[in-house]
Amino acid sequence: MNGVSGTEDMGEGTRAVRAGLPEARKHEPTLPGPVFAAHYHLPGEPTGPYAYGRDDNPTWTLLERAIGELEAPSGGTGTAEGPETVVFASGMAAISAVLLSHAQAGDTVVLPDDGYQALPLVREQLEAYGVEVRTAPTAGDAQLSVLDGAKLLWIETPSNPGLDVCDVRRLVAAAHAAGTLVAVDNTLATPLGQRPLALGADFAVASGTKGLTGHGDLLLGYVVCRDAESAARVRRWRKVVGAIPGPMEAWLAHRSLATLQLRAERQCANALAVALELKDFPEVSGLRYPGLPDDPSHPIAATQMHRFGSVLSFTLPDRAHAERFLAGLRIVDEATSFGAVRSSAERRGRWGGDAVPEGFVRFSAGAEDTADLVADVRRALAAAFH
């Protein structure tokens, strides 16, 4: 399925705008519109691919091809057809599909203890099914110390919201030597920031709700599987649970991929500019952005990431200062989630799920003009300390 667009050897901007497009046909649109179908004409013997809407949809097929081209452009690393992509209704649907279709009672799974806030819910579910779950922090490759005998290692790098980074190649080498599968949550980086399969992982998993689609108007998830048997399990899980994306969401996502490189370029530049601005404020502590040369994540991030993402985090003295800062921003929405073209920020402590200080702010840089965004942050900070 990979390389359909014939752009494997071209730049990432070219690959993004052409990702997953069907062959040009006279009088057909470049990207065919969403196919709304619960069932398809199917006389006689029921043969695939398109029979029933929970199993397959032509709009998903094109999107899966597009994501596969971005996550695994060279293909050929696993099966003859190359890695296989399966899209889901949300990032959590994709995460659950990998873990619950691969771990059985008696197996051990290793998760990060500082990952996405809904991972503890997955942990509870796995344990209820008799799976042993071990956790360790992302930083310092600490998951290495609890890997013994595990069926699957789950990595989230950079981690959300702490922005720690682990060495994917090193963890994969140790895991594979012991027959352990490795999945990487690539949500924060997006495939233009990091390609887990190229770093050796067996699965690249992500929420497409964030930077991948980047407009804050849809939920989506995907799994890219190196191996055909794993892909069959993940696909079967989607059929069993029915966590399928709507055709409209799938089509909007594909349409959004055309601007992924443009968005990533501006948003990452904006994140760095905001981080550099915050560095000079003595009241700001714990500033984290993997793209800052002196960030603890930078040395490893620089060896495995092509760009460092649109998210930064920092801590203001207390809850009141953080709330005044957020209220003072004019072109940054106070909202959760991240990766959208409109900047957003929030005090993570308000959810109670992450182990962060009361004044901890997660900031998602959008695609505004850099000077405007930096000026807004400067003004809001001044107001918070007035």
Ligand X SMILES: *Cc1c(COP(=O)(O)O)cnc(C)c1O
- The CB-of-362 to ligand X minimum distance in angstroms stands at 10
The residue among 78 and 291 lying less far from ligand X, judged by its C-beta, is 291
- The CB-of-86 to ligand X minimum distance in angstroms stands at 15
Q: Provide the 10 A C-beta neighbour count for residue 39.
A: 10
- The CB-of-90 to ligand X minimum distance in angstroms stands at 3
Return all residues near 351 (Cβ < 8 A) that are at least 6 apart: 117, 336
Say if CB 152 and CB 109 are below 8 A apart. Answer: yes
- The CB-of-331 to ligand X minimum distance in angstroms stands at 23
The residue among 95 and 380 lying less far from ligand X, judged by its C-beta, is 95
Q: How buried is residue 48: exposed, middle or buried, by Cβ count under 10 Å (0-12/13-18/19+)?
A: exposed
What is the signed CA dihedral for 380, 384, 385, 386, rounded to 10 degrees? 90
Residues that bind ligand X (CB under 6 A): 90-92, 95, 116, 156, 160, 185, 187-188, 207, 209-210, 219, 221
The residue among 15 and 307 lying less far from ligand X, judged by its C-beta, is 307
Strands (E) in the chain, as ranges, are 84-88, 108-112, 132-136, 152-156, 181-185, 203-207, 221-225, 285-288, 311-315, 333-334, 344-347, 360-364
- The CB-of-211 to ligand X minimum distance in angstroms stands at 9
User: Is the alpha carbon torsion for 79, 169, 87, 230 positive or negative?
Assistant: positive
State the Cα angle at 342 between 332 and 281, rounded to 5°: 40
Residue sitting closest to ligand X (CB)? 91
Q: Provide the 10 A C-beta neighbour count for residue 328.
A: 17
Q: With CA atoms as reference, report the closest residue to 184 among 62, 295, 72.
A: 72
- The CB-of-190 to ligand X minimum distance in angstroms stands at 11
- The CB-of-206 to ligand X minimum distance in angstroms stands at 7
Phi, psi of 244 (to 5 degrees): -95, 145
Separation between Cα atoms, residue 311 and residue 207, nearest integer Å: 15
The residue among 210 and 288 lying less far from ligand X, judged by its C-beta, is 210
The residue among 15 and 348 lying less far from ligand X, judged by its C-beta, is 348
- The CB-of-92 to ligand X minimum distance in angstroms stands at 4
Separation between Cα atoms, residue 220 and residue 209, nearest integer Å: 5
The residue among 175 and 205 lying less far from ligand X, judged by its C-beta, is 205
The residue among 182 and 188 lying less far from ligand X, judged by its C-beta, is 188
The residue among 7 and 187 lying less far from ligand X, judged by its C-beta, is 187
